[in-house]
Amino acid sequence: MIATPDVVAARYRAEIRNEIDAHDRPLKVVGLLSGDYAPSRTYAAYTRKACEDLGIEYELREAARLDLEHAIRDANADPDVNGLMVYYPIFGNEQDRYLKEVVDYRKDIEGLHSFWINMLYSNERIDLDAPQPNKAVVPCTPLAILKMLEANGAYGSSGHEPAANRTVTIFNRSEVVGRPLAVMMSNDGATVYSFDEFGPLLYRGGQAEETDISREQALASSNVVITGVPSKSFPKIEAHELNANTVCLNFATVKNFTAEAEQQAQTFIPRVGPVTIAMCMRNTLRLYHAYQKK
Amino acid sequence: MIATPDVVAARYRAEIRNEIDAHDRPLKVVGLLSGDYAPSRTYAAYTRKACEDLGIEYELREAARLDLEHAIRDANADPDVNGLMVYYPIFGNEQDRYLKEVVDYRKDIEGLHSFWINMLYSNERIDLDAPQPNKAVVPCTPLAILKMLEANGAYGSSGHEPAANRTVTIFNRSEVVGRPLAVMMSNDGATVYSFDEFGPLLYRGGQAEETDISREQALASSNVVITGVPSKSFPKIEAHELNANTVCLNFATVKNFTAEAEQQAQTFIPRVGPVTIAMCMRNTLRLYHAYQKK
């Protein structure tokens, strides 16, 4: 079965719209874009649509890459801007990490600032679904992945360890998606094998351990397989490598599973983008309540 | 002429030793090492020697890469530790940037935390040679490069713009050396062409601008050429590409100039390591006076 994110995104948007409707003042999100990278323009267009659908004002600001830091600082200082979204890559190298730290963490609706990442790694976030102010912000893509798995029955939605008894393999250990995702899922009770081009790590209880498990062994033991490898040279996951009843999810723009593997999966989730954007909008509300409300 | 860093390092060490001798209590630096990467072990041995020579206590703590974050946090919390030095690479990917942020900036003698980098990019540092507390810390390798150029007459040592009328080409725009170096030199009045694998940028007055200058044009117009490309596939700089009277410096462990080019340079500086370590020790003193002295 193929499970697209639209239904799940619609549900979260409805929740957010209800909250926005009860608001005293409109919220505003600023998107910051540099250059002509087509996927970034597409993402910006989606963000605009999602914001306007929810009654959030959206403004796209374009700047040359060398002026982008200044544009971020302007938006940080502007009391009319409630949330900021930067469409990476800007420089396409480690300078992009620098820019993530320039965004004021109190307007960082993507949850990419080290303030939020450190809180996540310390497992200091509190229940994200409780109607409380001052909740921690977690990065949108990992959160969207959890929500998609939950909506498709591959992840518990409540309780102390909603992912207990789950074994998960993740191909991607980037600082913005794969590593936070491994930490979050293992904090929720899952056993997580995390692969990047340098090899595997095992995450349990939020902590990484060395392991020499092979790709084949990890896949054969997993109920959930998540991929995010932006390279066509990655050997696609094949049907014979997967367990029966495995839920598979790919968040890369490149196909990481063979067509046969996608077919064989109990559920195949080909993308999470709309849920990611919904999570950003939810973060906008949370940051407003935590830091900006007068 | 070949100019090795030993004489310059000895001069700074003498200054630091005088200051240490007048101290009320001994200072302690902790080095953190993971794995068997030979250059890191060599660097750790050099640090120990430099510390002991200056009367600073040095302790090397080794930890598995997955325990290194914890080891950093322990040293952060230990009031007997005045400075921390982490021997990168640890993971060899963007997780190393994460570790740089885990180091308490008040003990970051390498000046790699975003707290110090942001201060540098905002040009908030004040005169590093003034006998004042609360001075800004700048990253050790760029600072060592400036000190080596200064000692070899390629850079002014005082005045408002000590590098006015200097044109500099730098091959390296990493966040830890090349970019801060370009900003510092251009803040000092130099025109700086900065190359990385994605192309050139021009720095003037601390600000980057786009440029389409070629390698050949940049080299032909430069008084100072600095390289730090850790790859054997980088086409070595050849003698015919250089101006007469050019000062050349390579801080990579791989040769970036041909033997003929090294010969032709007015001065060729093949490494800066000992000065880098001396600058770290100076930072240790500064951080002690700024944040730790009771």
* Residue B115 backbone phi and psi in degrees, to 5: -55, -45
Residue of B nearest to A117 (CA): B98
**Of B15, B10, B62, B61, nearest in space to B36 by CA:** B62
Question: Do B63 and B32 touch, CB atoms closer than 8 A?
Answer: yes
pLDDT of residue A293: 80
Report the distance separating Cα A115 and Cα B59, nearest Å. 30
Q: How far is CA B218 from CA A48, B145, B169, B184, in A?
A: 43, 20, 6, 19
CA distance B36 to chain A (A): 16
Which residues of B fall below an 8 Å CB-CB distance to A?
Answer: 64, 66, 91-95, 97-98, 101-102, 114, 117-118, 173-175, 179, 196, 198, 201, 207-210
Q: In terms of DSSP bridges, do strands B199-204 and B207-210 run parallel, antiparallel, or are they unpaired? A: antiparallel
Angle at A209 between CA A246 and CA A188, to 5 degrees: 50
pLDDT in tens, A102-160: 999 999 999 999 889 888 888 775 444 554 545 678 899 999 999 999 999 999 887 78
Q: Which of B66, B92, B173 lies closest to A208 in CB terms? A: B66
Q: Report the residue of B68, B99, B101 to disrupt the A interface, i.e. the one with the largest count of A CBs within 10 Å.
A: B101
Question: Do B176 and B141 touch, CB atoms closer than 8 A?
Answer: yes
- What is the C-alpha end-to-end distance of chain A, expressed in Å? 47
A280 is catalytic: no
pLDDT of residue A185: 96
Residue ranges in chain B modelled with pLDDT below 70: 125-135, 294
> What top-level class would CATH report for the domain A6-138+274-292?
alpha beta
**Of A187, A136, A147, A191, nearest in space to A168 by CA:** A191
pLDDT of residue A81: 97
Residue of A nearest to B65 (CA): A210
Q: Do B209 and A114 touch (CB under 8 A)?
A: no
Report the distance separating Cα A94 and Cα A101, nearest Å. 12
Q: Which of B66, B117, B179 lies closest to A210 in CB terms? A: B66
Residue of A nearest to B113 (CA): A98
List chain A residues with CB under 8 Å of B66. Answer: 201, 207-210
Question: Do B64 and B33 touch, CB atoms closer than 8 A?
Answer: no
Report the distance separating Cα A45 and Cα B241, nearest Å. 47
Secondary structure (3-state) at B281: helix
**Of A257, A210, A208, nearest in space to A229 by CA:** A257
- Give me the architecture of the B142-272 domain, per CATH: 3-Layer(aba) Sandwich (3.40)
pLDDT in tens, B184-204: 999 999 999 999 998 999 999
- Give me the architecture of the A142-270 domain, per CATH: 3-Layer(aba) Sandwich (3.40)
pLDDT digit string (tens) for chain A, length 294 residues: 999 999 999 999 999 999 888 887 889 999 999 999 999 999 999 999 999 999 999 999 999 999 999 999 999 999 999 999 999 999 988 899 899 999 999 999 999 998 898 888 887 754 445 545 456 788 999 999 999 999 999 998 877 888 998 999 999 999 889 999 999 999 999 999 999 998 999 999 999 999 999 999 999 999 999 999 999 999 999 999 999 899 999 999 999 999 999 999 999 999 999 999 999 999 999 999 888 886
CATH numeric code, B25-105 = 3.40.50.10860
Exposed/middle/buried for residue B79 (C-beta within 10 Å: 0-12, 13-18, 19+) = exposed
Q: Which of B92, B117, B179 lies closest to A198 in CB terms? A: B92
**Of B184, B169, B94, B189, nearest in space to B137 by CA:** B184
A233, amino acid identity = S
Q: Do B210 and A92 touch (CB under 8 A)?
A: no
Question: Do A81 and A30 touch, CB atoms closer than 8 A?
Answer: yes
pLDDT of residue B10: 94
B228 CB-side CA count, 13 A: 21
CA distance B220 to chain A (A): 26
Same fold, A6-138+274-292 and A142-270: yes
Q: Which of A92, A97, A208 lies closest to B198 in CB terms? A: A92
Q: Do A94 and B97 touch (CB under 8 A)?
A: yes
Preceding amide of A89 cis, omega within 30: yes
Report the distance separating Cα B195 and Cα B178, nearest Å. 9
- Bridge partner list, A29: A58, A83
Residue of B nearest to A209 (CA): B66
Residues 6 or more apart whose Cβ sits within 8 Å of residue B255: B236
List chain A residues with CB under 8 Å of B114. Answer: 98, 101, 114
Report the distance separating Cα A215 and Cα B206, nearest Å. 47
Report the distance separating Cα B102 and Cα B70, nearest Å. 9
Side by side, the strands of the sheet bearing A28-33 are A57-62, A28-33, A83-86
Domain ranges of chain A: 6-138+274-292, 142-270
Question: Do A290 and A128 touch, CB atoms closer than 8 A?
Answer: no
pLDDT of residue B127: 47
Q: In terms of DSSP bridges, do strands A83-86 and B224-227 run parallel, antiparallel, or are they unpaired? A: unpaired
Q: Which of A66, A93, A98 lies closest to B210 in CB terms? A: A66
CA distance A92 to chain B (A): 9
